[in-house]
Amino acid sequence: MNVLTGYIVREILKGSLIAVFLLLTLYNLFTFADEVKDLGEGGYALKDILVYLALTSPAVFYELMPSAALLGSLFVLGAMANNRELVAMRVSGVSLFGLIKAVLLAGLVLVSLSIVVGELIAPTTQVTAKSLRAEAKDQKFEMKNVLYGLWLRDGDTFINIRKNLAKGRVADVRMFELDERHRLRLMRHVQEAHYIGSGKWRLEGVRESEVSARQIFASHFATMEWQSSVDPDLLDIVVVEPDDLSLYDLAMYIQFLKDNDQQSTNFELAFWGRVVNPLTTIVMLLVAAPFVMGFRRGGGTGVRMMIGILFGMGFKIADKIAGHVGLVYDLPPMLVAVFPSAIVFTGAVYAISRLR
């Protein structure tokens, strides 16, 4: 890496990291204002709010990285253009491809950082944040459906969990087991269940009803063991939004849903969204390069930043719309996730090819 390339990479990294921390601070201020409304609920104190914000910040950092890369590169490259630095580089023999290569090298660093935070840090901190927040407010872990709890399927058994106590404990569990003709064979209500390892749960306070064509047999058990593919890690996954999960967790849960013949489109869309998200950072940097290099000297930094903000917001909105359209019309999740970035990438490459 020569001196000029290193200089461009450092400046873009500096600008992008400043942008992402500014955006993160702004986002956390709005979240803080929203969380303050619940201050005093149960044992929810100011300290708990600050811890919650700290734990959710990695996931927000991951989501904001593409927009921050766009804003940071627009600011840095725009300043270089206004100060004639880009002109001096071109005169000294640096080609347009050389400038683009430096921008992409900075993008690779940002993508690497984004992957580390998004895949190794954010998923764990998101689960911890929601758990601590719920415990501080003296609530149970929030389920996907607050009214009816969480529904899972394990083979021919349908499971309804009303309370997730975390740490391998659930309560108020209902099980409905079907026979080979898909008729109800057994109903079971469990007061509390503890995970004891190797796919086994210890059920406490069990009321069981066996259903036959002529009669129903009712039984009561103080404790009993239950073998299932449902484990605590899976429960932690499903109480978190799909977009907050790592690729591994999403792949694991998607496979679980498919093995039990359940709809997995929403999680597949989130999976491909996480695959595409780091690449979107590269696309945003490519968008900034032709915009700045084709901009006449004297163009205001404020104008560039405003256009960058509008473009970033427009891209996010278009991406969300594409996701909802894909779910409604049952389009391939990979196509839906890739399409918006592919369109912008094609436009950026075309704009770069038009530069002289």
CA dist., res. 320 & res. 273, Å (int):
10
Q: Which residue has the higher pLDDT, 149 or 80?
A: 80
Q: What is the pTM of this model?
A: 0.74
**Does the pLDDT value for residue 152 go beyond 90?**
no
Whether 210 has a pLDDT exceeding 60, the answer reads: yes
**Contact predicate 156/162, CB 8 Å:** no
Predicted confidence band of residue 143 (pLDDT cuts 50, 70, 90): very low
Buried b (16+ CB within 10 A) or exposed e, 178-187: eeeeeeebbb
pLDDT tens by residue, 111-126:
999 999 999 999 889 8
Distance CA 64, CA 16 (A): 10
Query: Per DSSP, what are the bridge partners of residue 216?
Result: 211
pLDDT of residue 49: 93
Residues 30 and 85 in one domain: yes
**Domain range for residue 172?**
150-238
Distance CA 270, CA 265 (A): 9
- Where in 200-310 does DSSP place strands (E)? 200-211, 216-227
Considering the domain boundaries, does residue 252 fall inside one?
no
**Do 192 and 223 fall within a single domain?**
yes
| 73, 171: one domain | no
- Are both 190 and 167 inside the same structural domain? yes
Percent helix, strand, coil in the chain, to 5, is: 60, 20, 20
How many structural domains are present in the chain?
2
CB atoms within 10 A of CB 297: 10
pLDDT at 108: 94
**If we measure between CA atoms, which residue out of 141, 118, 139, 135 comes closest to residue 57?**
118
Nearest-CA neighbor of 288 among 6, 2, 19, 3? 19
Instruction: Mark 341-354 as b/e (b = at least 16 C-beta within 10 Å).
Output: beebbeebeebbee
- pLDDT for residue 138 is more than 60: no
Q: What is the residue type of 74? A: L
Same domain, 132 and 270: yes
- Any residues with CB less than 8 A from the CB of 60 and at least 6 apart, and which? 24, 27, 28
Single out the residue of 245, 227, 275, 282 nearest to residue 107, CA to CA.
282
Give the SS3 label for residue 9: helix
pLDDT score of 305: 67
Q: Residue 207 has what pLDDT?
A: 94
Is the per-residue pLDDT at 63 higher than 70? yes
The answer to whether residue 173 is domain-embedded is: yes
97 band by pLDDT with thresholds 50, 70 and 90: confident
Give the pLDDT confidence of 218-270 residue by residue, as tens digits: 999 999 999 988 877 767 666 667 777 788 888 888 887 787 677 788 889 98
* Final residue before a domain boundary, out of 238, 273, 303: 238
Residues 108, 158 share a domain: no
pLDDT tens per residue across span 263-297: 788 889 989 999 998 889 999 988 888 777 765 54
pLDDT score, position 128: 83
d(CA 206, CA 343): 56
